[in-house]
Structure 1
């Protein structure tokens, strides 16, 4: 994973325009195709084999699936559309006050002073407030204003892929006929007796493997982001604990005043405690 991120970072810095034109559409397309694939497979093929299509549990499964898809795609779109660029600030806040000027630093690319924790992105071609990283799945930088949407997008990606994998495993447990379709269970039998697999079995096995990878990706992403949220750091500055204000304070700084309520829907308004130009430090108990 580290090798992949290093490689992507190198290519993005060397060929930013080409990287944005190829990797962004491919990554977004991967999320959209994966969402449609797993939703269709679960709700039109696997779930009818587990529950009665006319029963209550099947209808509840549909509601849960649509809720997950709504939040996954809704947070993805909101993350892309919400700018964390320094230039998104009101004009009067793009210039530091005299007492804050010594805390700001100069960006050679933007040719302007930028607030603390703001850094330049070669792909976005601007400085980002509390820049965390550039996300290829949302085609934008993750920063102060849109981190909430990115975090829940990743969380719902994990929840959706785990539930999809759980339905596969549930069907394997209760349905002997389906168990015969999966090479992961009958691998030895296939090797010893060279028994060919049907087209349906091949598709199911491919989807099962893809589902496992779909669980691993957001799990790794959250593995980086949960410490960031817990300690009020960033992806590139994980050891800088000077802004750590405790779990509650850090959570509010990322998610806004409504905190966990933002999990329910990306449309819920949750104003952030500040505009991203002033940050409370732990050691000095002062604003920077």
Structure 2
């Protein structure tokens, strides 16, 4: 994962325009196609072999699957459509007040003063409020205004792939016939079973799907590993050791998610106004405000 991130950053720095034209559609397409693939496989192949298709549990599984896909793709779209650039500020807030001017810094690319924690993105070609990083899977920069959607997008991506793995585990446990199609069965019974391993087409498919599922779960899990400390400590991807803005978990959560806080988990359409516009940041030091 680290090698991929470093490699993408290296290419993006050298060929920003070409990188955006290539990486964005490929990455977004991967998420959409992958979501459709795993939803179809789970709900039409795996889950029917666990639950009765006419029963309550199967219908409940469909409701959970639809809820996860809705929030995954909904937050992904909302993240893309929400502008976190300095230009999204009202005109009067794009220029610092005289008493705040010394707290802002100059962007050599935009040739203008920008608020603290705002940095230029070469791929977006603008400065981003509290810039965290540029995400190719949402085709936009993650900053102050759209961090909420990116975080829940990552959470639902993790939950969805984890539940898909859980269905494989449940199928392995409850369905003795399907259990013999998993390579794991032969590995765990290596010293008991004798004779050659017999694999049919179903065995090939079920094991390939499991391998894809493991890889699909690993990526969002790594993303979550970066984002949880960011949320907990009020830092960014590129400034993980800057703890000046940490105001405690509850206050940090409100800063990122807005006035509705944890309720934003339910749907990307829930209105949750942010407590400030991303130009003023309080630090731990008393009576000091970074503007």
TM-score (norm 2): 0.95
What secondary structure is seen at the aligned counterpart in 2 of 1:268? coil
Q: Which residue in 2 is equivalent to 1:221?
A: 223
Aligned pairs for 1:1-20 (under 5 A) are 1-20=1-20
User: What is the root-mean-square deviation of aligned Cα atoms in Å?
Assistant: 1.5
Q: Which residue in 2 is equivalent to 1:272?
A: 274
What secondary structure is seen at the aligned counterpart in 2 of 1:157? helix
Q: Which residue in 2 is equivalent to 1:104?
A: 104
- In 2, the alpha carbon distance for the partners of 1:111 and 1:244 equals 30
Identify the match of residue 199 of structure 2 among 166, 183, 197: 197
Aligned pairs for 1:87-102 (under 5 A) are 87-102=87-102
- In 1, the alpha carbon distance for the partners of 2:183 and 2:27 equals 29
Q: Which residue in 1 is equivalent to 2:48?
A: 48
User: Cα offset for 1:196?
Assistant: 5.4
- The 1:228–1:285 alpha-carbon spacing in structure 2 relative to 1, beyond 3 Å, is farther
What secondary structure is seen at the aligned counterpart in 1 of 2:282? coil
- In 1, the alpha carbon distance for the partners of 2:104 and 2:247 equals 21
What secondary structure is seen at the aligned counterpart in 2 of 1:120? strand
- In 1, the alpha carbon distance for the partners of 2:285 and 2:3 equals 35
User: Cα offset for 1:194?
Assistant: 5.5
Higher alpha-carbon deviation: 256-265 or 14-23: 14-23
TM-score (norm 1): 0.96
- In 2, the alpha carbon distance for the partners of 1:287 and 1:200 equals 62
- In 1, the alpha carbon distance for the partners of 2:198 and 2:85 equals 55
- In 2, the alpha carbon distance for the partners of 1:270 and 1:136 equals 25
- In 2, the alpha carbon distance for the partners of 1:185 and 1:138 equals 38
- In 1, the alpha carbon distance for the partners of 2:172 and 2:25 equals 35
User: Cα offset for 1:193?
Assistant: 5.5
Count of residues in correspondence between the two structures: 287
User: Is residue 2:105 matched to residue 1:71?
Assistant: no
- After TM superposition, the runs of 4+ consecutive aligned structure 1 residues lying more than 6 A away are none
- In 1, the alpha carbon distance for the partners of 2:211 and 2:69 equals 21
User: Is residue 2:257 matched to residue 1:251?
Assistant: no
- In 2, the alpha carbon distance for the partners of 1:2 and 1:61 equals 34
Return 5+ residue gaps in structure 2 as ranges: none
Higher alpha-carbon deviation: 215-224 or 176-185: 176-185
